[in-house]
Amino acid sequence: MAAHESVIGADRRFRFSDIYGADWPSERVKLIKYWVKHVCCMAVDCELGIPELLINYLDDTSADAGAPPHIGFDMLVQSDLLRLRLHQSMEYGSFIGDVSGYAAPDGKLVAIEGHTMWGWVMVTYRFDTTEPYGSTTFEGDLVQMGFISLVSPEYTLDPTDLMNSPWMAQLQDMPNSNATPARKAAPTAPSRGDALG
C-alpha cells in the first residue's frame, strides 16, 4: 500500500489479491483474526469478558471463516493524515486509539469501540457482547473504503479537492493564494416589516 498510496488513498480502494496474491482469502482471514485479537486484548483491559463464539472463531482454521461474531469492523481512509502524507511528507506510524465503553442499565459493561491505524488507514471496531452477529466492510477481494476526518466533517471529502482549504493553508510552508480569507459580514439594519423592524 505504501508504494501506491496516492492512488489507493484518492480512489479509496484496493484489492487483497494485489497485496497477498492468490492466497488472499486465507490471508484476509488472518488479518481479521489479528484485529480480533487486538480487540480482545482491549476488551480484557476494560474487564469485558470474551464470549465463547468469538473464541471458537479464533480457533476456526478454515479460510472462509467470514466476519467475526460480536465485532463490527470498518476500514476507512483518515483523510487528514492522507493529505499530510501526500503533501507534507508525514512519516508513517501506527497507533491505537482511545476505547469507549458502553454499559447496560445495571451498570455492567457490555460493549467497547475504538480504532487502530497504520499511516492513514483506520480500522474502527465495535465489540458488543449482546450482539452475536459481526460484520466487516471488506468481505471480498475489492475493498472500498470511506473517508473520515478527525478535524471536521467537511474534510471527509476527496482529499485531492480540499488542498486549498484554510485548514490546509495554515499547515503549508507557503501561503495558499487560492484560500479566501475569512471576513466579517457588515451588520444590517432591520427593515420595515421584518421580524425586527
Note the pLDDT tens digit of each residue in 45-60.
999 999 999 999 999 8
- Dist CA 142 CA 108 (whole Å): 39
**Which pLDDT value is given to residue 169?**
53
Written as nine digits, the cell of 58 is 479464533
pTM of the model: 0.72
- Dist CA 59 CA 33 (whole Å): 10
Percent of the chain with pLDDT over 70: 74
H-run or E-run covering 36: helix 24-45
Note the pLDDT tens digit of each residue in 6-17.
778 878 889 999
